[in-house]
Amino acid sequence: MIIRTLVVGAALAVAVFALPAMGAEQPRLKAQVTVHGPLVTLGDLIDGAGAASGIAVFRAPDLGTAGTVRVDRILTAAQAQGLAGLDTGGLDSVSVSRLGRAIASDEIVQAITRHIVETGRGDRPEDIDVTLDRFEQPIVVEQSAMAPLSVDKLEYDPATGRFAALLAVADSRAAGTGLRFSGRAVEIIEVPVLARALERGEVISPRDIVIDRLPRSAVRSEMIVDADRLTGMSARRHLRDGVPLTADLLMEPILVHRGDLVTIIYRTPGLTLTTRGRALSAGARGEVIQVFNIQSKRTVEAEISGPGFVTVLPQRVPVASLPTTVR
């Protein structure tokens, strides 16, 4: 950036300054200059500018940026103010930087998120996901502007998540009448999903579970949002990883596998009969499977009651069909 010459009006009328007195320190040009305000003075550019120090001669670069000014232009400006005998130190140009405080996108997102929660349109800041439509580079305000970024106005539609916000920095002139941003703010719910695909019968362990963050609008009421409800359950069928689960996809762990030898139990009031059988299919606790009665050579339906145990449903099998041990 090339520093532009300041047009000096009547308020900065030309004043003639005497040459440095015999023995006075020779004015020396600075190689690098840092300024805070919108104008660059001779005192900013020159060590020993004396009474001419406060005279503004150039406009400063934009906030947070840097530029250069040629030495010949500085000499011309200094001589116009009666400042001669300048030691340039062999410089061709001087670098001028203007301090500024950058406001990054994270600060803007935090301000909008905080405002949504404080106005009762969200529960917790960590559950609000804010995305700005456009943010190409940081906003820069004066270095001295230390007031926090605040939201003056926010139009927000919870149904779509769309918002339009007017933000301000109270003690910044650079921020002017406000900083306008638009985007989308979505309430997020943490949902447990599988870290890997599972086949039917595989038991879910804590290491099989990861937490995904989904928009509230995408979370149906039947989805399981408590990871504790998944641990120890098994897959009723093949389950893909990364997909929210519902109760109908899960079952108690498989207690009886196809081909297992099992104890068949038949209970009536005051009587318990048992015999041996072989499971014709697999199942979890509470599931009804077919079991081949080894003694009677008949197939019966029984409910899995524990590892290696099935209980015949009384209404389905007559007692006579079970050659048994009476307990």
Residue 230's closest CA among 275, 198, 269? 198
- Per-residue pLDDT tens digits for 75-133: 999 999 989 889 999 999 999 999 999 888 999 999 999 999 998 888 888 889 999 99
Q: What is the DSSP string of 234-290?
A: EESS-B-TTSB-BGGGEESPEEE-TT-EEEEEEEETTEEEEEEEEESS-EETT-EEE
- Per-residue pLDDT tens digits for 151-189: 999 999 888 889 999 999 988 888 877 899 999 999 999
Is residue 36 within 8 A of residue 55, CB to CB? The reply is: no
Q: How many CA atoms, within 13 angstroms, populate the side-chain half-sphere of residue 10?
A: 0
pLDDT at 144 over 60: yes
Q: What is the DSSP string of 288-307?
A: EEEEEETTTTEEEEEEEEET
Helix segments in the chain, DSSP class H: 42-45, 71-80, 105-118
Q: How confident is the model at residue 15 (pLDDT cuts 50, 70, 90)?
A: very low
Is residue 243 within 8 A of residue 229, CB to CB? The reply is: no
pLDDT at 208 over 90: yes
What amino acid is encoded at 98 in this protein? Answer: R
Is residue 226 within 8 A of residue 192, CB to CB? The reply is: yes
Residue 140: φ, ψ to 5°: -120, 130
- What is the Cα–Cα distance from 299 to 278, expressed in whole angstroms? 9
CA dihedral 76, 78, 79, 82 (to 10 degrees): 160
Residue 30's closest CA among 95, 114, 76? 95
Q: How far is CA 274 from the centre of its chain?
A: 60
- What is the Cα–Cα distance from 212 to 240, expressed in whole angstroms? 14
- What is the Cα–Cα distance from 4 to 73, expressed in whole angstroms? 10
Beta bridge mates, 309: 263, 306
Angle made by CA atoms 223, 226, 229, in degrees to the nearest 5: 90
Q: What is the pLDDT of residue 2?
A: 53
Q: Which domains does the chain have, with CATH numbers?
A: 27-98 (2.60.480), 103-187 (no CATH), 189-252 (3.90.1210.10), 255-326 (2.30.30.760)
Share of the chain above pLDDT 90, in %: 62
The pLDDT mean for the chain works out to 87
Q: How confident is the model at residue 3 (pLDDT cuts 50, 70, 90)?
A: low
- What is the Cα–Cα distance from 229 to 190, expressed in whole angstroms? 14
